[in-house]
Each structure stands twice: as structure tokens, then as C-alpha cells.
């Protein structure tokens, strides 16, 4: 299956006038799809298809079972009725009704089953398959990683495409009110590599204090000094000056290459110089020194191409390790857990286009690495979660745990826009084609970077808990001022990050005090998107921190560097906030309420904590409390969100989780 770009016909209604909706953009997307839509790993899927049949659409298999009877009661009958139980052999009794149960099932057995080939799952699959006599199965709901994901300037094309789960938050009174259906879009990768395949590739580990706090909460082994080894283990740092300056905090030779992009336009220099003028030092955010300052980011890329965890950890070994099996377009519907012994012994999954459940048994462990949204969903469908919610759906309660709670995200804002009067980076259609050709040939030029998103700034406001630790991170998004004025709500902005005439200045709340939750979809708990309640700004201090961050960000306008580029704040109040004085604190509060945004860092829904923590789902060894041979290894285990982008910490969690598994099974007597 190939990459399918966002459906601009759906996103762009007739009244919307935007470069993202122009005929030239549509043609450019079609060209991108033809040139970059396929995957270098397509041959692996072809081998699977020859064995198991050609993939079809998920909808057709759904219709086979339900037709038009999509009511909640029919879902109870087919999916989650009272007969949702297990016999002693692990056979499924009712998830998809008698039709499916009566089909002969192909049952396989592996030592370890990993659900989800994302930022953590790919790492775990690599590290466990190092043990030659272990047999590993990696199941991924999405397709193979397409070439289009390699191009650093193309992340806006990946959102809302077929490699994005396309989740949206539920309507809430404090946030996202002007956006589609009153919810914020939460892009999550549905593809080999998961969200590391569609993100903006920023490599930030967080602050050392983050991990020390985890340890102080009772999570033995998770202090900064103990996890630093795992950051270094993965890293292959290509920037010699950073290696030389801080050799104790960086490493060369790991699977995950990190580097600065090979291309920076003029505005990158202007951004850095503006913050230097404001008194912020130029720092290495990943060294254990002060995190307050400005940096030209490093990214999870290699020589101008994205390097997802799939590209870094799976491609180098996929043809070499015969003990690792990978299946894409495989939707796991539940973990099989014996309700008497509380022992996880396998999973059930359906592959796109098939109409029968496949059962796979695990001799040693099932490892859930499906991410902050889908890991709790899978646990809930498997009978692990809050009793009240499980009983509502008729799911047998195997273990009453606070699955789906403790949701945290780095909230930010849209539409604080600075116009660059003298240094707009624009390109004609012919110039874009030339840039595309240059990228294909040399992996250089404007498409080999993420534009102004290469610059990161970490600051502290008066609302910070500790004055030497940042509570705001700045992101600078490429934007067309015309698009903002004509339609400030358009999602996504389907333009390469290389071309822009304005900056969307986003202060990001690094230590949100608000907590949300994730629930099963009440209409369709199995196939339906989980209900996401981020609960942004439930704690008013988050709003005040954000507003303070906006004030800090706009200080750039008074620097010599920004006066030189003719920068000016776009004085164009959104309709919902016209009653407030533009650029006043009340205006910014209103804007944050209606035009809330995220940089896609959800964590915490399977919280790590010791047995005495009533909110914990997994223990410090990432084992689900009260369930044998079941672990969660991904960003959902974070008890508190890290100060910075979450992809690098998730890779670290995959590395450490893999070692915890090896320690248990290779030296079992020492860890019982």
C-alpha cells in the first residue's frame, strides 16, 4: 500500500482561500505522491501478502460483520458482550461473533510479541532480536514507511494522510473552541516508525531534573545519571563540534543518527541573533548544564534525510535477523490475559482486508508499545483499566488500574504572527520544482530542513516552580500571512516548511499542571478513535504561563536583528476575540482558548510508579501491576512530562525497557 496525501478537497471548502488549497498545491502534492509515495520496504509487505493474501480496506471487513447495524447495542453483542471471556487454552469466544469464531484460526507462537512499531517499539524489536534464540514478532497497524517521510520539509503533508491516525480531542470549554468540531488535531503516526516518521525530528532529551523527579516518585533506576547511558547508547552524533564540546553527553556509533540540518536560510541566523541580543546564551540543550538559552537544534536525521526509528533500528537488521518477524496493517484488538492467573499469553489481531481473527501466543511476554493513545485503549479492551469504565462496556475486569488517566501534553497556541517584511522565503512553481530536483540529487537545499523550526529557545517565566528550570519552549512555525488572514483555522497548513513570509511564534508550556484522560469510544470501542480529553488550562496557571511566554516571545520585535528584517506583529484580531484590546493579556487568553494548539507530545496514560502509588499502571520495570508477562514500553509510562520534545526520551525508554527485559529473562534468578 502506498502513501495517500491529505484530502485537500475535504480540508479546503469552497470559501477558503489559501495557498494550501490552491491548484498549484494540489498539483505539487500529486507530484510528490508519484515521486515519493512508495516505500523502500515494499518488498517486505509483498512477501507477507503472498503468504496471507492481499490487503484490502478496513471498512470492507467491518461491513462484512455489521452492514448498516452500527449501533452501540450491536457492538456490545459482537465485541464486548457478557461472553467476552477466555477459556483455559486461550481461544477467543466472542469478540467478532460466531462467524469469525467458527473459522479455523492460524495460531502461532513467539517468545515476545511487540504491539506497535513506533519510537519505542522499533527500538525494543531491535534490542530483543539481538538474542538469537529469542523469536520476536512486531505488529504494526500502519503501512511501510514511504519515501515522502524522508524529506525534512514535508511533515505538513504527512498530517491527515493515511500514515496519520488523524485523532482529534473532544470539545472542551477551555480550549480549541474555534477549530474543527471544537477539537484540536492530534497527529499520531500510523506507519512503521510511528510518530517518529511524521514528526518534526527535533532531538531534545529534556532536563536532568525531569528524570531525577521520576526517581524521587519511587521509580528506582530512572534518575538522570541512570538513564543517560541509554541516550548515549542510541546516539550517533554527526556534529563534531558538539561531540568535542561535551563528549560526556554525546556519543557516536549508535543506531540513531542526530545532526543539524545541512541548510539554513537567512531568517535562522536572525532568530538566533535576536535571542542572543535578549541575553540568552547559545547552548547545547542536551548537555547537563543550564537549559535556558537558544540553540540551532539537532534532529533525528542523517545527511539531510529523516531517520525515523524504523529507518534507524529496523531497516539495518530486517534482512539479517531471521528471528524477527514484522507484520504491517495488523490491528491488535486485545491482549489475551487469563482472568484466573492474571497471565498475559498472547494477542489477537486482524489484518486489513481479512475477516478472521489471528491469535498469536507469547511464550515469554507481550509488550505494548502502541503509544500514549493506543496503549491505554488496548489495555482497556483487554480488561485492564478503571472498573467503572470496563463494566460500562461489558468488558470483564481483569485488573482495576487507572489506565488512560494522567494524560499530559505540551499545550501551545496558534496565530501569534510576525510578518517578515524584508526576508520572506518564497518560490515560484518552477523554483519549487528545482528545489525538489536538488533535494533528490543532493539531499540539500531548502527541502532538506524544517525552516525556522530549526531554532529552539527555552525560557523561564514568573510562574516557574524553580527559577533555574525552563517552563516555556519556543517554536517558530513557517507561515504565509495571507493564509492566516483568510483562514486562521485551516488544518493542516499543507505547504513545505521551506517557504514562508511569516513566523507563528508558539510559546509551549513545558510543565503543564493540568491533567486529562483517554476513554474508549462509546459508539465503537474497538475501531473507533478513543475519546481524548486533554483538559487544557484546567489549572489556570498553565494559561498564565502561556500568556507570559507570549510576552517574552514578542520581545524579539525590539531587537536590532528583527528590526533589520522588517519584522512586525500582524495586527489582525481573530473574530472570537475582537472585543478585547489586541495584544493585551486578555486578548491572548481569548486566543489561547479558541485557537489552542499542540506540538504533539501526549504522555502519561499508563503511568509508571511503585506498587504504593494508587495512580500507577506499570512498575519501574514497566510491568503492568498485577499482570504477569505484560509490559508497556512507550511515552505513556512517563509519570511527568519532560521539559522538551518527547521523541528522544521515548527512544531512551525503549532502550532501557529492552535491558529490563533482558535482565529478567537472561538472569532471571537475580530479578525475581
DSSP per-residue codes, 42-62? HHHHHHHHHHH-----HHHHH
- Range name among 72-76, 163-167, 470-474 with the lowest pLDDT average: 72-76
Q: Is residue 339 a contact partner of residue 383, using CB atoms and an 8 Å limit?
A: yes
Q: Is the pLDDT of residue 563 over 80?
A: yes
Fold that domain 42-143+309-404+604-671 belongs to in CATH? FAD/NAD(P)-binding domain (3.50.50)
User: Annotation-wise, does 617 bind a ligand?
Assistant: no
Q: What percent of the chain has pLDDT over 70?
A: 88
- Range name among 6-20, 412-426, 593-607 with the lowest pLDDT average: 6-20
Q: How many helices (H) and strands (E) does the chain have?
A: 23, 25
Rounded mean pLDDT, 648-653: 98
Delimiting residues of CATH 3.30.560.10 domain(s) in the chain: 163-223+232-306+409-598
Q: Give all strands (DSSP E) within 584-628, no chain letters.
A: 596-598
User: From residue 187, how far is each of 21, 123, 157, 159, 212 by CA, in Å?
Assistant: 20, 21, 12, 6, 30
| Half-sphere CA count of 497, side-chain side, radius 13 A | 27
> CA 438 to CA 454: how far, in whole Å?
20
User: What pLDDT digit, counting tens, does each position of 177-209 carry?
Assistant: 999 999 999 999 999 999 999 999 999 999 999
User: What pLDDT digit, counting tens, does each position of 342-354 carry?
Assistant: 999 999 999 998 8
pLDDT score at 274: 98
Q: Which residue has the higher pLDDT, 57 or 533?
A: 533
Delimiting residues of CATH 3.50.50.60 domain(s) in the chain: 42-143+309-404+604-671
Residues facing 516 on adjacent strands:
407
Helix 23-36 × helix 429-442 angle, to 10°: 20
Clarify whether 410 is annotated catalytic.
no
Q: Give all strands (DSSP E) within 116-268, no chain letters.
A: 136-139, 167-168, 185-186, 235-237, 256-258
Q: Is the pLDDT of residue 65 over 60?
A: no
pLDDT score at 578: 94
Mean pLDDT across the chain: 89
CA geometry: angle at 275 spanning 408 and 449, to 5°? 70
pLDDT score at 117: 98
Q: Is residue 649 a contact partner of residue 660, using CB atoms and an 8 Å limit?
A: no
Q: Is the pLDDT of residue 20 over 80?
A: no
User: Annotation-wise, does 26 bind a ligand?
Assistant: no
Exposure of 54 by Cβ count < 10 A (0-12 exposed, 13-18 middle, 19+ buried)? exposed
**Residue where the block lists cell 536538488:** 438
pLDDT score at 571: 94
Q: Which three cell numbers stand for residue 8?
A: 485537500
Q: Is the pLDDT of residue 67 over 90?
A: no
Grade residue 73 by pLDDT with cuts at 50, 70 and 90. Answer: very low
pLDDT score at 11: 63
> CA 380 to CA 377: how far, in whole Å?
5
Specify the CATH number of the domain 163-223+232-306+409-598.
3.30.560.10
**Residue where the block lists cell 486485545:** 334
Q: Which residue has the higher pLDDT, 57 or 6?
A: 6
> CA 72 to CA 525: how far, in whole Å?
9
pLDDT score at 335: 98
User: What pLDDT digit, counting tens, does each position of 481-512 carry?
Assistant: 888 887 777 666 778 999 999 999 999 999 99
pLDDT score at 27: 81
pLDDT score at 8: 67
Catalytic residue among 299, 601, 625, 664: 601
Q: Specify the pTM.
A: 0.91
Rounded mean pLDDT, 89-106: 41
User: From residue 113, how far is each of 400, 629, 630 by CA, in Å?
Assistant: 23, 11, 10
Q: Is the pLDDT of residue 1 over 60?
A: yes
Residues constituting the chain: 672
Q: Is the pLDDT of residue 661 over 60?
A: yes
pLDDT score at 495: 86
Rounded mean pLDDT, 523-548: 98
Q: Is the pLDDT of residue 103 over 90?
A: no
- Range name among 69-73, 93-97, 236-240 with the lowest pLDDT average: 69-73
Grade residue 319 by pLDDT with cuts at 50, 70 and 90. Answer: confident
Q: Which three cell numbers stand for residue 525?
A: 470501542
Rounded mean pLDDT, 350-376: 96
Q: Which three cell numbers stand for residue 415?
A: 496565530
Q: Which residue has the higher pLDDT, 144 or 353?
A: 144
Q: What percent of the chain has pLDDT over 90?
A: 80
Amino acid at each position: 500500500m502506498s502513501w495517500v496525501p491529505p484530502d485537500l478537497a475535504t480540508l479546503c471548502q469552497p470559501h477558503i482561500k489559501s495557498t494550501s488549497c490552491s491548484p498549484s498545491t494540489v498539483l505539487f502534492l500529486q507530484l510528490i505522491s508519484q515521486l515519493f509515495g512508495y516505500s523502500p520496504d515494499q518488498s517486505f509487505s509483498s512477501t507477507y501478502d503472498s503468504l496471507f493474501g492481499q490487503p484490502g480496506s478496513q471498512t470492507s471487513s467491518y461491513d462484512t460483520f455489521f452492514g448498516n447495524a452500527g449501533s452501540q447495542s450491536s457492538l456490545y453483542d459482537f465485541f464486548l458482550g457478557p461472553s467476552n471471556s477466555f477459556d483455559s487454552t486461550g481461544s477467543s469466544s466472542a469478540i467478532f461473533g460466531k462467524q469469525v469464531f467458527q473459522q479455523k484460526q492460524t495460531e502461532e507462537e513467539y517468545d515476545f510479541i511487540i504491539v506497535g512499531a513506533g519510537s519505542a517499539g522499533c527500538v525494543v524489536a531491535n534490542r530483543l532480536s539481538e538474542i538469537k534464540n529469542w523469536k520476536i514478532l512486531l505488529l504494526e497497524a500502519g503501512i511501510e514507511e514511504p519515501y515522502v517521510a524522508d524529506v525534512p520539509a514535508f511533515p505538513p503533508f504527512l498530517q491527515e494522510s493515511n500514515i496519520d491516525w488523524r485523532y482529534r480531542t473532544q470539545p472542551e470549554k477551555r480550549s480549541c473552541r474555534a477549530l474543527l468540531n471544537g477539537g484540536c488535531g492530534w497527529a499520531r503516526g500510523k506507519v512503521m516508525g510511528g510518530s517518529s516518521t511524521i514528526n518534526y525530528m527535533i532531538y531534545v532529551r529534556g532536563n536532568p531534573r525531569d528524570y531525577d523527579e521520576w526517581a524521587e516518585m519511587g521509580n528506582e533506576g530512572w534518575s538522570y545519571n541512570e538513564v543517560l547511558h541509554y541516550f548515549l547508547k542510541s546516539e550517533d552524533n554527526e556534529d563534531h563540534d558538539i561531540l568535542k564540546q561535551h563528549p560526556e553527553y554525546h556519543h557516536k556509533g549508535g543506531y540513531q543518527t542526530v545532526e543539524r540540518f545541512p541548510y539554513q536560510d537567512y531568517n535562522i541566523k536572525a532568530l538566533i541573533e535576536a535571542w542572543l541580543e535578549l541575553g540568552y546564551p547559545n547552548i547545547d540543550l542536551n548537555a547537563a548544564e543550564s537549559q535556558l538559552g537558544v540553540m540551532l537544534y539537532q534532529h533525528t536525521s542523517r545527511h539531510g534525510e529523516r531517520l525515523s526509528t524504523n529507518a534507524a533500528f529496523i531497516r539495518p537488521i530486517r534482512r539479517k535477523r531471521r528471528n524477527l518477524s514484522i507484520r504491517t496493517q495488523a490491528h491488535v484488538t486485545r491482549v489475551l490475559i487469563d482472568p484466573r492467573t492474571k497471565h498475559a499469553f498472547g494477542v489477537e489481531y486482524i489484518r486489513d482486508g481479512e475477516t478472521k481473527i489471528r491469535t498469536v501466543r507469547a511464550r515469554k511476554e507481550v509488550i505494548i508499545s502502541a503509544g500514549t493513545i493506543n496503549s491505554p485503549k488496548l489495555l482497556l479492551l483487554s480488561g485492564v483499566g478503571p472498573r467503572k469504565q470496563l463494566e460500562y462496556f461489558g468488558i470483564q475486569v481483569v485488573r482495576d488500574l487507572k489506565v488512560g488517566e494522567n494524560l499530559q501534553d505540551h499545550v501551545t497556541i496558534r496565530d501569534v504572527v510576525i510578518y517578515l517584511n524584508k526576508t520572506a522565503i518564497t518560490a515560484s512553481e518552477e523554483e519549487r520544482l528545482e528545489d525538489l530536483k536538488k533535494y533528490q540529487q543532493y539531499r540539500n537545499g531548502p527541502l532538506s530542513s524544517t525552516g525556522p523550526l530549526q531554532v529552539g529557545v527555552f525560557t523561564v517565566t514568573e510562574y516557574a516552580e524553580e527559577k533555574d528550570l525552563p517552563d516555556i519552549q519556543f517554536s517558530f512555525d513557517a507561515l504565509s500571512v495571507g493564509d492566516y488572514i483568510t483562514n486562521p483555522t485551516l488544518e493542516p497548513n499543507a505547504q513545505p516548511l521551506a517557504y514562508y513570509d511569516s513566523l507563528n511564534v508558539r510559546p509551549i508550556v513545558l510543565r503543564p499542571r493540568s491533567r486529562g484522560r483517554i476513554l474508549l469510544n462509546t459508539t465503537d470501542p474497538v475501531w473507533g478513535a478513543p475519546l481524548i480529553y486533554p483538559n487544557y488550562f484546567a489549572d489556570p496557571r498553565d494559561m498564565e504561563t502561556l500568556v507570559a511566554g507570549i510576552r517574552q516571545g514578542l520581545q524579539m520585535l525590539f531587537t536590532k536583528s528583527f528590526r533589520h528584517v522588517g519584522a512586525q506583529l500582524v495586527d489582525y484580531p481573530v473574530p472570537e476575540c475582537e472585543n478585547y484590546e489586541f495584544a493585551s493579556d486578555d486578548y491572548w487568553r481569548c486566543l489561547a482558548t479558541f485557537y489552542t494548539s499542540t506540538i504533539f507530545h501526549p504522555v502519561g496514560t499508563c503511568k509508571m510508579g511503585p506498587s504504593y502509588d494508587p495512580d500507577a499502571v506499570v512498575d519501574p520495570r514497566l510491568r503492568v501491576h498485577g499482570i504477569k508477562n505484560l509490559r508497556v514500553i512507550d511515552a505513556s509510562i512517563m509519570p511527568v512530562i519532560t521539559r522538551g520534545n518527547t521523541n528522544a526520551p521515548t527512544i531512551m525508554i525503549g532502550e532501557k525497557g529492552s535491558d529490563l527485559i533482558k535482565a529478567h529473562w537472561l538472569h532471571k534468578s537475580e530479578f525475581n
